[in-house]
């Protein structure tokens, strides 16, 4: 028996495109390089994630600040309040998010495999993440009790305790656990430190020093290919 655990944002669906779209539609102009915008947005995101998960700021304030910091670092002119406007627009765009057809069929197959147990470990505030889980319809494939949201758990990735929590939920040993995610620091290093296997969806092709994942892919198609081959151990 193996456990296959998913991160949600930018793993099960691509969130980064929504951030860029939200910024461009609010500013009424291009933000320039998509890759740079996403990289900087994610760098500044690391700076206020803890405040969000501890309930010190709302998701709206959190994302508003991230947008404005990104605009500043990229020398993109903006008006006061544009960050929060972009955060609100991002939420509207998110309400239309969905899994790709291919991801849905991969999940159908995995769910029907008696040798595989599926789970989710996601960072972020409870309400916000559970809304996404509902919008994406993830409970069709993944049991409610096997979905861990950091905002509920009181710890977040890469803290090893959140990975141990998932082992307990599934009743499996670390060596039978596989994590999938786009963030090396949170998903991949966290899982490897917990003694798990890891599949890294490294869309931005970044290089890191540290323990290596079992599998690394750089695009959604290859990621879905890997998942469609995922089986219980022989
Ligand atoms: Mg992610």
Helix, strand or coil, per DSSP, at residue 219: coil
Q: How far is the CA of 192 from the centre of ligand 1 (A)?
A: 16
One pLDDT digit (tens) per residue for the chain, 234 residues: 999 999 999 999 988 889 999 999 999 999 999 889 999 999 999 999 989 988 999 999 999 999 999 999 999 999 999 999 999 999 999 888 889 889 999 999 999 999 999 999 999 999 999 999 999 999 999 999 999 999 999 999 999 999 999 999 999 999 999 999 999 999 999 999 999 999 999 988 889 999 999 999 999 899 999 999 998 765
pTM of the model: 0.82
Distance 45 CA to ligand 1 centre (A): 12
Of the three residues 94, 121, 143, the one that is the final residue of a domain is: 94
- Find the 55 Cα to ligand 1 centroid distance in Å: 20
Q: Integer distance in angstroms from the first to the last C-alpha of the chain?
A: 10
Side by side, which strands form the sheet with 2-6? Answer: 147-149, 116-122, 2-6, 177-181, 197-201, 215-217
Q: Identify whether 194 is part of a domain.
A: yes
Query: Count of domains in the chain?
Result: 2
- Max Cα-Cα span within the chain: 58
Query: Which CATH number do you get for residue 203?
Result: 3.40.50.1000
Q: Based on the number of CB atoms within 10 Å of its own CB, is 146 exposed (0-12), middle (13-18) or buried (19 or more)?
A: middle
Query: For residues 183 and 206, what is the distance between their CA atoms, to the nearest angstrom?
Result: 10
Q: Which domain holds residue 88?
A: 16-94
Distance 82 CA to ligand 1 centre (A): 25
Residues with CB under 5 A from ligand 1 (ion): 7, 9-10, 182
Given 72, 94, 116, the domain boundary residue is 94
């Amino acid at each position: 028996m193996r456990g296959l655990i998913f991160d949600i944002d930018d793993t099960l669906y691509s969130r980064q495109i929504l951030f860029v779209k939200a910024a461009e539609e609010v500013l009424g102009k291009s933000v320039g390089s998509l890759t740079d915008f996403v990289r900087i947005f994610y760098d500044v995101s690391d700076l206020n994630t803890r405040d969000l998960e501890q309930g010190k700021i709302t998701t709206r304030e959190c994302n508003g600040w991230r947008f404005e910091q990104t605009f500043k670092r990229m020398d993109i002119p903006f008006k006061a309040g544009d960050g929060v406007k972009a955060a609100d627009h991002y939420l509207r765009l998110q309400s239309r998010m969905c899994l790709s057809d291919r991801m849905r069929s991969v999940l159908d197959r995995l769910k029907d495999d008696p040798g595989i147990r599926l789970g989710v470990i996601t960072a972020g505030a409870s309400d916000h993440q559970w809304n996404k889980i509902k919008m994406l319809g993830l409970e069709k494939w993944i049991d409610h009790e096997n979905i861990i949201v950091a905002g509920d758990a009181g710890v977040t990735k890469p803290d090893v305790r959140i990975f141990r929590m998932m082992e307990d939920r599934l009743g499996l040993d670390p060596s039978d656990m596989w994590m999938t995610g786009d963030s090396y620091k949170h998903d991949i290093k966290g899982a490897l430190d917990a003694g798990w296997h890891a599949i890294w969806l490294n869309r931005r092709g970044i290089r890191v020093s540290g323990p290596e994942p079992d599998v690394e892919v750089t695009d959604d198609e290859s990621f879905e290919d890997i998942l469609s081959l995922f089986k219980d151990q022989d």
